[in-house]
Amino acid sequence: MDSEENGNRLHKITTSQQAFCSCCGALITSVLVTPLDVVKVRLQAQSNPSLKGQSFLDSDGLTDHVYLYENGTGKTWNKTSGRFAGMMDAFMKIVQREGVKALWSGLPPSLAVSVPTTVIYFTCYDQLHDTLVSKLGEDNDYVPLIAGGIARLCSVTIISPIEMIKTTLQSRRLTYKQLSVFISSNVAKNGWLSLWKGWGPTVLRDVPFSALYWWNYEYFKTRLCKKSGIHEPTFLITFSSGAAAGSIAALLTLPFDVIKTHKQTELWELDVARSSQQRSVSILNLMKRIVAENGFPGLFIGIIPRLTKIAPACAIMISTYEYGKSYFRRLNKNKDMKNY
């Protein structure tokens, strides 16, 4: 191990510094990619077979809006198309019908999800990675896979209820008061575990995504550093490695992202007129239903906005995080040298 690598080992950043770096990355990433997330969720939600025929017609005085839910006093049936033909069509219709601000709908709960999730996720990953490296060795290729999967499982379980709320806000036009009533009535009827609806498919999506992402990221970063003849990755190397790793992981796990959205939006159809004994559809049966209703491409609904979102999101997040860690390493090193 050369002196530069050894120096980085001796001047590791603290847990609080890791948390600060991940917070900054989460804030920047959420603000920049929330519009893409809103479009993705809308595209996936409109294809949900269980919600067909359950549309709410609203008007702002200029145009009619069609939303995939029911109002609190009864059904108002679909009178206009309201469907999105694709990503750009969704962007244009959302802006025209609901205003530019609608592209950032759900940003507060998105931040409420992304900040604690990122702190837990990235800090846990770094701690697990260092522990596994000390036990299995620096050259073990499975360290990023194991650390990434376990870190994501922990963060998903803790944050799952907030993620469900964020998806609901993005898929439906609700005020926070309406959202509070919606959640309260759902908990009273279906129990507290209903807040973890979608946990299964979220884990099935996020755990392999995380494992694949970190494995590919570490691989690309190492290869690019060797090719460039440097030991510390530059901002460009971390940015491009994050974008490539995120795109690969997102493509391979997209069907589970579609299923996750369907499972969470299942809550919409459980109103007082329905039997309280109605059971949630299993993941396998839901997948079969999606294929039967929309064909195999139905499992890849929202692929363009997902990839368009994931690539820059991963690139911005990891490059911000790594830059922050590099800054704190230099800061800690300078402090240690002054104290010495």
| Residue 141's CATH number | 1.50.40.10
**Which one-letter amino acid corresponds to residue 116?**
P
Residue 222 — very low, low, confident or very high, per pLDDT cuts 50/70/90?
A: very high
Residue 295 — very low, low, confident or very high, per pLDDT cuts 50/70/90?
A: confident
- Residues 67, 56 contacting (CB under 8 angstroms): yes
Q: At what angle do helices 283-294 and 235-265 cross, to 10 degrees?
A: 90
Q: What is the pLDDT of residues 239-253, one digit of tens each?
A: 999 999 999 998 888
- Report the DSSP beta bridge partners of residue 209: none
pLDDT of 147 > 80? The answer is yes
Answer whether residue 99 is part of any domain.
no
Q: Copy the structure tokens of residue 36.
A: 């893409």
Query: What is the count of structural domains for the chain?
Result: 1
Answer whether residue 135 is part of any domain.
yes
**Which one-letter amino acid corresponds to residue 12?**
K
Answer whether residue 60 is part of any domain.
no
pLDDT: which is higher, 215 or 8: 215
Answer whether residue 81 is part of any domain.
no
- How many whole angstroms separate alpha carbon 248 and alpha carbon 232? 24
The domain of 247 spans: 3-44+105-333
- Provide the mean pLDDT of the chain: 76
pLDDT, residue 314, reads 92
Residues 256-268: what's their mean pLDDT? 68
How far from the centroid of its chain's Cα atoms is residue 6's Cα? Answer: 35
- How many whole angstroms separate alpha carbon 324 and alpha carbon 79? 51
- Residues 167, 265 contacting (CB under 8 angstroms): yes
Answer whether residue 77 is part of any domain.
no
Query: What is the DSSP secondary-structure string of 278-326?
Result: PPPPPHHHHHHHHHHHH-GGGGGTTHHHHHHHHHHHHHHHHHHHHHHHH
Residues of the chain above pLDDT 90, percent: 27
Per-residue H/E/C for 63-95: CEEEECCCECCECCCCCCCCCCCCHHHHHHHHH
**Which one-letter amino acid corresponds to residue 204?**
L
Answer whether residue 178 is part of any domain.
yes
Answer whether residue 51 is part of any domain.
no
pLDDT of 154 > 70? The answer is yes
The helix/strand/coil state of 57 is strand
- How many whole angstroms separate alpha carbon 154 and alpha carbon 298? 29
**Which one-letter amino acid corresponds to residue 186?**
N
Answer whether residue 122 is part of any domain.
yes
Q: How many helices (H) and strands (E) does the chain have?
A: 10, 2
Q: What is the pLDDT of residues 1-55, one digit of tens each?
A: 444 444 444 457 888 999 999 999 989 888 888 887 778 777 766 765 454 444 3
